[in-house]
Amino acid sequence: MSEQIIAKEFRGDSMVCYCHRQSTKDLISVFENEKTLEGVQRITRAGTACGGCRIILESMFGQPSIEIAKLNAEGPAGTTACVKPGVRIMKSLIIANEQLESTVVSSNAVPPQLLDCDSTTAVEYALADSEGKILWKRNKVIRTNETFVFSTQEEADLPRPFHGMFFYSLGRSNYGASRFNVIWSSKRSITSTHENATTGRPRFVLPLLVDPKFLKGANSIYLGMQNPHGKALNVILQIFEVESDRKVDQVLSIPSHGTRWIDANRMLYAPAMQQLGKGSFALRVFTPELDTHCAPTLYFFIYNRTLETWSANHM
Partner 1 sequence: MKSTEIPSKLSERPGQRARLQFACLFPDPGEYATQLNLFPGNNAHAPWGTEGQFQLNVGLYSQSMNVGNLESPLVDASGNIRLQLDSALSTGSQISGGIALIDLDHESTIPVEIYLSHIHRKSQVYIAYPALSFAGDQLYPTVHTHQLENTLFWPGISCSKEVQPGVVVVNPYRSIMSFQVHLIRGDGSREHAEVIQIAPRSSGIYLLESLFPCEDLLASSGEMRASLCVSAQYKLVAYMMLRDRAAGVITSIDHLHTYCLY
What part of residues 1-20 is at the interface with partner 1 (CB under 8 A)?
9-10, 12, 14, 18-20
Q: Is 269 exposed, middle or buried (0-12, 13-18, 19+ CB in 10 A)?
A: buried
20 or 257: whose CB is closer to partner 1? Answer: 20
Least Å from the CB of residue 303 to partner 1: 10
Contacts of 205 (CB under 8 A, 6+ apart): 282, 283, 284, 285
83 binds partner 1 (CB under 8 A): yes
**Which residues within the stretch 32-71 sit at the binding site for partner 1 (CB under 8 A)?**
45, 48-56, 58-59, 68-69, 71
265 binds partner 1 (CB under 8 A): no
CA distances from 206 to 50, 275, 285, 301, 315 (A): 23, 20, 8, 11, 8
- Kindly write out the interface string for residues 129-158 of this chain, putting x where it contacts partner 1 by CB under 8 A and - elsewhere: --------------xxxxx-x-x-------
257 binds partner 1 (CB under 8 A): no
- The correct pick among 178, 199, 259, 297 for binding partner 1 (CB under 8 A) is 178
310 binds partner 1 (CB under 8 A): yes
Phi, psi of 216, deg, nearest 5: -90, -5
118 binds partner 1 (CB under 8 A): no
Dihedral over Cα of 204, 208, 209, 210: its sign: negative
Q: Are 181 and 105 in contact (CB under 8 A)?
A: yes
Least Å from the CB of residue 195 to partner 1: 10
304 binds partner 1 (CB under 8 A): yes
- The correct pick among 91, 102, 123, 172 for binding partner 1 (CB under 8 A) is 172
162 binds partner 1 (CB under 8 A): no
Q: Are 273 and 246 in contact (CB under 8 A)?
A: no
Phi, psi of 146, deg, nearest 5: -75, 155
**Which residues within the stretch 196-235 sit at the binding site for partner 1 (CB under 8 A)?**
201-205, 207-209, 217-219
Counting every residue written for the chain, the total comes to 315
User: Cis peptide leading into 288, omega within 30 of 0?
Assistant: no
Q: With CB under 8 A as the contact rule, which of the stretches 28-36, 129-137, 172-180, 257-265 interacts with partner 1? A: 172-180
Q: How many residues bind partner 1 (CB under 8 A)?
A: 93
**Reading across the β-sheet that carries 297-304, which strands appear in turn?**
259-263, 219-226, 297-304, 309-314
- The correct pick among 122, 134, 141, 290 for binding partner 1 (CB under 8 A) is 290
